[in-house]
Amino acid sequence: MLTDSTVETWLREDIGHRDVTNSVPGETTGRLVPTEPGVAAGLDAAAAVFEYLGVDVQVQVEEGHQLDPGDPALVAEGPAQDVLRGERVAVNVAAHASGVATRTREAVDAAHEVDDEVRIAGTRKTTPGLRGIEKRAVAAGGGDTHRLTLSGMVMVKDNHIAELGFDRAIERIRERTSFATKVEVEVEEPGDAVRAAEAGADVVLLDNLDPAALERGVEALPDGVLAEASGGISMDDVPAYAATGVDIISLGSLTHSAPALDYSFRTG
């Protein structure tokens, strides 16, 4: 949940101690509109910026709405000084989130051209302090948020296996995990997928495998164990990975490399 203290931190960073630039009298109306097609996200966070400043604001579209250039996404009305002070922070957060949502929608559409059952998921490769906004943007784009925190699911990764060994790492996790918590195990060889499933994995993450190797690992898994593909998968690669029968394709690039959607904010 976005808190007032977070918004205050954003604004303090941008405004500083003496804002001469926006010392503008009177009332005004500002409109946030995209200059390119994209998927709306982060508008509630943008609205929170204006609300904190005492500006009346109306979000014009729902999260996940497909925007065309010129479509009004948000309208803010109030003292000109406060509207202008909120402008850059609001635009930045909406542009970033909408970029994540747009990139996610592109990946979902590419995957569903091949297999409409495969899920596109984000990862924990998020910007510190912005995870909630970025994860909601993934959802707005039609993606799966994956685990939100380390508490959401146990993932046995390569470093855990390097420290404890394959079987011991999974066993140790199983001993400490609630029945309600899923366990995912990362493997880097197709043959280790079955080994992970037999050791108690609910989900097997097949990491850094090409589509042919991934398909071998997926086919070997018993029913009821989900297969996830991750690691070095580009947007162009998504259709080939979707064709392997994998259940989930996770992409860190949805959050760490999505270009911001270009918005314009005009007053008057």
The answer to whether 254 and 233 have CB atoms below 8 angstroms apart is no
Predicted pLDDT at 172: 92
- Nearest CA among 220, 216, 233, 226 for reference residue 247: 226
Domain with CATH 3.20.20.70 in the chain: 109-256
The answer to whether 7 and 238 have CB atoms below 8 angstroms apart is no
CA–CA separation, 189 vs 207, rounded Å?
Answer: 8
Domain with CATH 3.90.1170.20 in the chain: 4-107+259-267
- Considering the domain 4-107+259-267 in this protein, what is its CATH number? 3.90.1170.20
Q: Can you give the length of the chain in residues? A: 268
One-letter amino acid for residue 153 of the chain: M
Q: Which residues, 6+ apart, have CB-to-CB distance to 13 below 8 Å?
A: none
Task: Give the tens place of pLDDT for each residue, 194-251.
Answer: 999 999 999 999 999 999 999 999 999 999 999 999 999 999 999 999 999 999 999 9
The answer to whether 59 and 5 have CB atoms below 8 angstroms apart is no
* Sites in the chain below the pLDDT cut of 50: none
Name 115's bridge partners: none
Q: Which of 125, 135, 157, 182 is catalytic?
A: 125
DSSP the chain: ---HHHHHHHHHHHH-S---TT---SEEEEEEEESS-EE--SHHHHHHHHHHTT-EEEE-S-TT-EE-TT---EEEEEEHHHHHHHHHHHHHHHHHHHHHHHHHHHHHHHHHTT-TTPEEE--S---TT-HHHHHHHHHHTT-B---SSTTTSEEE-HHHHHHH-HHHHHHHHHHHS-TTS-EEEEESSTTHHHHHHHTT-SEEEEES--HHHHHHHHHHSPTT-EEEEESS--GGGHHHHHTTT-SEEE-THHHHSPPPPPEEEEE-
182 tagged catalytic: no
CA–CA separation, 136 vs 130, rounded Å?
Answer: 10
Reported CATH class of domain 109-256: alpha beta
